[in-house]
Amino acid sequence: MLSQTVVKRLKEIVGEKNVVTDKVGLLTYGYDGTLLSGEALGVVSPTTTDQVVEIVKLMNEHDIKLVPRGAGTNESGGTIPSQEAVVISFTKMTKIHEIDTENFVAVVEPGVINFDLQVELAKQNFYFPPDPSSFKASTIGGNLGECSGGPKCFKYGVTRDYMLGLEVVLPNGKVIQTGGRNFQSEPGYDLTRIIVGSEGILGLVTKVFVRILPIPRAKKTMLALYDKVEDASQTVADIVAAGIIPTTLELMDNLLINTTEDFTHAGLPRDAGAVLIIEVDGYPEDMDEQVKTIGEIASKIAKEFKVAQTAVEVDQIWTSRRSAFGSVARVRPSYGVNDITVPRSNFPKAIGGVLKVAKDFGVTIGVVAHAGDGNLHPLILFDQRNKEETETVHKAEQALCMMALDLEGTISGEHGIGLVKKKYLDKEFTPAAMEAFRKIKRSFDPTNRFNPGKIIDL
Amino acid sequence: MGVLADVYEMLNTCNKCGGCHTACKTYKLTGIETMVARGRIQLIKAVADGKLEPNQEYEDAIMSCLLCGECAVTCPNGVHGNELVMAARRDLKLRKGITPFAKSFALKTLASPKRLGMGFRLFGGVGKSVLNKLDGMDYFRGIDIRNFPTAKKQFLEQVPERIKVQNPKHKVGFYVGCFLNYSLDQTAHSVVKVLTKNDCEVIIPKDQVCCGLPQYCYGDFETAKSNARQTINTFLDKYSDAEVVLSACASCASMLKHDYLKLFADEPSYLPKVKLFCEKVVEFSEYMDKIGVNQSQLHNSSPLTVTYHDPCHMVRGLKVTKQPRQLLQMIPRVEYKEMFEANRCCGAAGLVQAFFHEVSTDITDQKTQNIKDTNADLVATSCPACMLRLQGGINKAGQKQKVMHVADLMAKAYED
């Protein structure tokens, strides 16, 4: 429970309406996209940087922890108030300060929803490449906290690659700006890149300078259908080996084709073992050549290869892909999402590894992958209410992580570590590297005030 | 607990992906998690699990839902947030009855033709004259009450029971509904005009009552059932020669056609009769499109730019979207302009506009802006509740567009 003094002060800072302390309100800020939950002491929604500073100072005075939160759609437990803490929700900092098309920069507040930014940018024929599947709901602040990826990462890179500068409120209540409008030369340490992906444990971002790009003049979307998911993974390796970089190279297996079809009716064949969604973009005159080359490579193994003909068809294909996670509760009510990533050339081996884990542990796994990046999301389906089954799922998840590490991969490509993957982090890093993580955290946040217990324990 | 136990699997199917954030207008405009399907569902689940005792904040979360149904369309798992909210409202009704008093009074009044008739007479007479004298009462909670139309005499008292035509091709039972009967009687006349111009004999039973939707939405299934029984018996038994039961109110039509089946799901012996009735129900635009409209007599002397607002019960309830747009474009010299988010709620949402007026007003303001952006002269729609809400919002914003029912535009074109 927060003391009356703290509640009163919070209300003075952000206004009565932007403070939640009742049980019902708190319940709805205790969960995210994972199966975890907690209960915050309070929820406070600032609307300006100054308010964030005041909140941080107040929390320091009263020694209260703070958990930052955007839309709460993450897959790592990163926004769960797992310890006694106040949740600081950025959903009311939604201003787009500036869209500067001359310098390819947009300046936004952290609560701006990725999709809403895309809509505004599109009016000026620009876009922001990182597009996690949750982009219609998730915020820019959340995207940068987790360093989200998305289908376009293969060609365009992840969120980190589009962050030019940040305004950050540090745990001591001081405000710094890292980077800015310039594309090059940030003297000294690259603090922007330390903050991005730090899951809110180092500082609270209150303003973001993002890099934007003109919308490509043309794009083509292709589908390659396979009997088996292993076959699809071979095409992925072949395309990469041929030195082609499509915008996206996405894979869904039979299970996900079916659950997404139930929702979107996009017309993906329900009997296919796997589908690859391949998109290329660029100048109109380049399209045919690229489509032809990819078609030739895919057709060596694929049972069918086709090019989407209409914008509606393309939309439906992407709605299917983006709703993959969301749709699996049609099969079982709970899922554990994994985010393992391996070097591209090892992708077929990783697919083989996933199938083996499914067989060894007798669990149902649906596979969706940003295949071009070697980033796999094996979704283990189960029912959380069944304790025995849940135990098996945890073991299978650990096996998936170890398999990825054996293939020189990583346990998390784009979802972050949060609480869910924390226990595997020291499998990937040496004790010395883990200590380096802790030292960085301590140097920013000596009292462990911001998002405690996420990524690493001190 | 029975009501929530029945929907527990669906509650448990929400995996909190947040996909509904984009669908839910109450969330988009407040940024508060208790105001989105995901949040509401988690709260209902907490109540079902016995972890939360329903309190005022819980009730606000449940009652502020627009029931627009957009979350159900957007959810990749096929979770119907609106139906779960309906279950929670039913559960609340069984726990403690309908509160506050104003809501329970409003619902009781709506259910009874006698009380409603008296209410409208009072409001149209004394009420309005008092309102006009009071400063600062142009809008009550964002509702344009001063301009709220009231019929001088209810429509049912203005017309005979049967309106005949020469060489009738069809016999149409007209379910008028409360709004068209007491408030927008001119629209009811428009419906009759369009039907008769298209060789339909119109049967207008005098003993029709509220369809029961308002009571159903707040969990009072008992009253809703009683009104539903009377409606079914009237149209099915007393006026069995009516080939169809036509409604020009998307909300009534959706209730009559789909929700009656859900309402009587626990009465298997009565259900076959309900099914017979539901199959007869048809919405105005849907019906006109089906029988084919006499286009040669449609005239229009001056060019007109028209946009269309899809009522929630039209687009997600009845799933009728093309027909009204086609009808509008049959009228000569009409230029049709689609508005942004035409299929999103206008903010009326039954009693939500009165009890959660802050968010309702924001939703309506967005809608009126979308209307303005089309540069249309006129907004057509298919639900009287939307008509009143939209016109009020437009007046409040100082805009000039007129809001009309699709039937009104067609009737006017038949006169020209």
pLDDT in tens, A373-416: 899 999 999 999 999 999 999 999 999 999 999 999 999 988 99
Spatial CA neighbour of A91 closest among A79, A81, A100: A79
Nearest-CB residue to A326 (from B15, B52, B61): B15
Least-confidence region, from A183-197, B4-18, B256-270, B371-385:
A183-197
What contacts A29, CB < 8 A, 6 or more positions away?
Answer: A20, A40, A43, A69, A72, A81, A87, A89, B33
- Cα A147 from Cα A195, distance rounded (Å): 10
State how far Cα A204 lies from the chain centre: 18
Q: Architecture of domain B2-96 in CATH?
A: Orthogonal Bundle (1.10)
- Residue A380 near residue A364 (C-beta atoms within 8 A): yes
∠ Cα B187 B307 B174 (to 5°): 25
Nearest-CB residue to A91 (from B15, B31, B75): B31
Instruction: Answer yes or no: do B15 and A329 touch at CB < 8 A.
Output: yes
- Residue A168 near residue A176 (C-beta atoms within 8 A): yes
Q: Which amino acid is at B406?
A: V
pLDDT of the residue at B136: 67
Say if residue B1's pLDDT is above 80: no
Minimum Cα–Cα distance from A256: chain B residue: B76
| Ordered per-residue pLDDT tens for chain A, 458 residues | 899 999 999 999 999 999 999 999 999 999 999 999 999 999 999 999 999 999 999 999 999 999 999 999 999 999 999 999 999 999 999 999 999 999 999 999 999 999 999 999 999 999 999 999 899 999 999 999 999 998 898 899 999 999 999 999 999 999 999 998 887 767 788 999 999 999 999 999 999 999 999 999 999 999 999 999 999 999 999 998 888 889 999 999 999 999 999 998 888 999 999 999 999 999 999 999 999 999 999 999 999 999 999 988 898 899 989 888 888 988 999 998 999 999 988 999 999 999 999 999 999 999 999 998 899 999 999 999 999 999 999 999 999 999 999 999 999 988 999 999 999 999 999 999 999 999 999 999 999 999 999 999 98
Domains A4-89 and A332-441 belong to one CATH topology: no
* Whether B222 contacts chain A with CB within 8 A: no
State how far Cα A156 lies from the chain centre: 15
Minimum Cα–Cα distance from B73: chain A residue: A263
Instruction: Answer yes or no: do B21 and A136 touch at CB < 8 A.
Output: yes
* Whether B14 contacts chain A with CB within 8 A: yes
Give the CATH number of domain A96-214; options: 3.40.50.2300, 3.30.465.10, 3.40.50.300, 3.40.50.1820: 3.30.465.10
Q: Architecture of domain A216-324 in CATH?
A: 2-Layer Sandwich (3.30)
- Cα B346 from Cα A24, distance rounded (Å): 27
Instruction: Answer yes or no: do B39 and A33 touch at CB < 8 A.
Output: no
* Whether A115 contacts chain B with CB within 8 A: yes
SS3 state at A200: coil
Give the CATH number of domain A332-441; options: 3.40.50.300, 1.10.3810.10, 3.30.70.2740, 3.30.420.60: 3.30.70.2740
Instruction: Answer yes or no: do B17 and A328 touch at CB < 8 A.
Output: no
- Cα A92 from Cα B387, distance rounded (Å): 32
Partners of B54 on chain A (C-beta within 8 Å) are: none
SS3 state at B391: helix
Best of A24, A133, A332, A415 to disrupt the B interface (most B CBs within 10 Å) is A24
In percent, the amount of chain B with pLDDT more than 90 equals 84
Instruction: Answer yes or no: do A29 and B31 touch at CB < 8 A.
Output: no
Report residue A370: phi and psi, to 5°. Answer: -85, 80
Spatial CA neighbour of B284 closest among B194, B165, B215, B414: B194
Question: How many alpha carbons fall within 13 Å on the CB side of residue A279?
Answer: 23
* Whether B340 contacts chain A with CB within 8 A: no
Minimum Cα–Cα distance from A71: chain B residue: B18
Instruction: Answer yes or no: do B17 and A22 touch at CB < 8 A.
Output: no
pLDDT of the residue at A185: 63
Chain A nearest C-alpha distance from B15 (Å): 7
Q: Report CA torsion sign: B69, B71, B77, B79.
A: negative
| Higher local confidence (pLDDT), A375 or B146 | A375
Spatial CA neighbour of B89 closest among B275, B317, B271, B352: B352
Question: How many alpha carbons fall within 13 Å on the CB side of residue A32?
Answer: 28
Instruction: Answer yes or no: do A23 and B57 touch at CB < 8 A.
Output: yes
B88-122: pLDDT as tens digits? 999 999 998 988 888 888 888 888 888 888 888 88
Spatial CA neighbour of B251 closest among B183, B113, B350: B350
- Domain boundaries, given as residue ranges, for chain B: 2-96, 294-415
- Domain boundaries, given as residue ranges, for chain A: 4-89, 96-214, 216-324, 332-441
Report the C-alpha dihedral over residues A59, A64, A69, A74, rounded to 10 degrees: 160
pLDDT of the residue at B148: 83
What secondary structure, in 3-state letters, does A28-79 show?
A: CCCECCCCCECCCCEEECCCCHHHHHHHHHHHHHHCCEEEEECCCCCCCCCC
B223-246: pLDDT as tens digits? 999 999 999 999 999 999 999 999
* Whether A178 contacts chain B with CB within 8 A: no
CATH fold for the domain made of A4-89: 3.30.43
* Whether A126 contacts chain B with CB within 8 A: no
Alpha helices by DSSP H, listed for B292-356, are: 312, 322-330, 352-355
Return the residue matching tokens 């949040």: B39
* Whether A36 contacts chain B with CB within 8 A: no
Nearest-CB residue to A335 (from B15, B57, B78): B15
pLDDT of the residue at B138: 67
Partners of A71 on chain B (C-beta within 8 Å) are: 18, 21
The tokens describing B28, both together, are 């988009």
Nearest-CB residue to B52 (from A23, A91, A333): A23
- Cα A283 from Cα A281, distance rounded (Å): 7
SS3 state at A449: coil
Helices (H) and strands (E) in chain A, counts: 16, 18
Q: Report CA torsion sign: A239, A241, A244, A248.
A: positive
- Cα B144 from Cα B266, distance rounded (Å): 40
Q: What is the DSSP string of A254-294?
A: HHHHHHHHHHH-----TT-SEEEEEEEEE-HHHHHHHHHHH
Cα–Cα distances in Å, from B92 out to A408, B97, B286?
55, 7, 36
B282-340: pLDDT as tens digits? 999 999 999 999 999 999 989 999 999 999 999 999 999 999 999 999 999 999 999 99
- CATH class of the domain defined by B294-415: alpha beta
- Cα A212 from Cα B361, distance rounded (Å): 35
Instruction: Answer yes or no: do A24 and B57 touch at CB < 8 A.
Output: yes
* Whether B57 contacts chain A with CB within 8 A: yes
- Cα B258 from Cα B262, distance rounded (Å): 7
